[in-house]
Amino acid sequence: MVNLFDLAGKTAVVVGGNGVLGSSMAEGLAAHGANVAIVGRNYDKAKSVADGIVADGGNAQAFQADVGSKESLRQLSAEIEAWSGGCDILVNAPGKNSPTPFFELEMEEWDDIMDVNLKGIVLTCQIFAKRMIEQGRRGSIINISSVSSTTPLSKVFTYSVSKAGLNSVTQFLAREFAEQGIRVNAIIPGFFPAEQNRKILSEERVASIMRHTPMNRFGTPEELQGATVWLASDKASGFVTGTLVRVDGGFGSMTI
């Protein structure tokens, strides 16, 4: 059973790997033998995550890229190929949020969030999936969605729309890439306190979240590692594609 989750010899590219959730997923992949490329717009933060993985005995390297720029992503792909040969596992974990009410929303903010949460992931999949196919690699793409993608939440209008779009992209690409041996799935995390959502976690909102989460607590970043490693492994999830995997403490099952 342990061999089901062995990622030795595989290269995982974690875009947004310098974030709270992305860094934990990167650590889980490295712990199971993957070479992990930590990609972030802020190189220093990405390097800190990579250095931590190396200190724990894993293999990781930091890279800087702008997910909104195709040219930047092409350069990133080339740099990762020079480092490890190419990408086998792509984790798309960048995220941007804002609590701006609908009637106060300006299109500049809309575009900024969409560029990171949706356009950036589409571009990243274009660049890396193409290279996987050209190199004949059986790969796994894991997109990080949100509970707001299926149940729209207050105070995160643009974020919810972007994540709903991401679910659609995930399922479309699963169909598109299946014959090339590339699986595409998404993880739907519940509430995991991170930098991007702390500003909307008022005491009242936390109480509301707990009322709608049967497990009555927030998730911890480490609790995303199992689903990530499972979806990354062809041995463990080789017949799984186009799936939205909930890791949400039961949030999605709560009605009244």
Three-state DSSP at 146 gives coil
* Mean pLDDT, residues 16-32 taken together: 96
Percent of the chain with pLDDT over 70: 96
What is the pLDDT at residue 7? 98
- What is the pLDDT at residue 126? 97
Contact call for residues 151 and 252 (beta carbons, < 8 A): yes
205 CB contacts (<8 Å, ≥6 apart)?
Answer: 155
Whole-number pLDDT of residue 99: 84
Q: Looking at per-residue confidence, does 248 or 98 come out higher?
A: 248
pLDDT at 9 over 80: yes
Alpha helices in the chain (DSSP H): 20-31, 43-55, 70-84, 107-114, 120-134, 157-177, 203-211, 225-232, 234-237
Q: Which of 108-112, 143-147, 162-166, 208-212 has the lowest mean pLDDT?
A: 208-212
Q: Examine the residue annotation and report whether 159 is marked as an active-site residue of this protein.
A: yes
The pLDDT of residue 196 is 57
Q: Which residue has the tokens 């479309």?
A: 172
- Return the CATH superfamily for domain 2-245: NAD(P)-binding Rossmann-like Domain (3.40.50.720)
Q: Is 167 or 101 the better-scoring residue by pLDDT?
A: 167
Give 186 or 203, the one with higher predicted confidence: 186
Q: Tell me the per-residue pLDDT of 115-141, one tens digit each, with 9 for 90 and over.
A: 999 999 999 999 999 999 999 999 999
Rounded average pLDDT over 222-244: 98
Q: What is the distance between the alpha carbons of residues 118 and 106, in angstroms, rounded to a whole number?
A: 18
pLDDT score, position 228 = 98
- pLDDT-based confidence at 208, cuts 50/70/90? confident
Once rounded to an integer, what is the mean pLDDT over residues 205-228? Answer: 93
> Residues 159, 191, 192, 230: which is the catalytic one?
159
Q: What 3 state SS string does 26-71 have?
A: HHHHHHCCCEEEEEECCHHHHHHHHHHHHHCCCEEEEEECCCCCHH
Whole-number pLDDT of residue 145: 97
CA 213/CA 2 separation, integer angstroms: 31
**Of the candidates 224, 191, 241, which has an alpha carbon nearest to the alpha carbon of residue 93?**
224
Give 150-170 pLDDT, tens digit per residue: 988 888 899 999 999 999 999
Q: In the predicted model, what is the mean pLDDT of the chain?
A: 94
Q: What is the pLDDT of residue 205?
A: 82
The pTM is what? 0.94
Instruction: Tell whether the model's pLDDT for residue 2 goes beyond 80.
Output: no
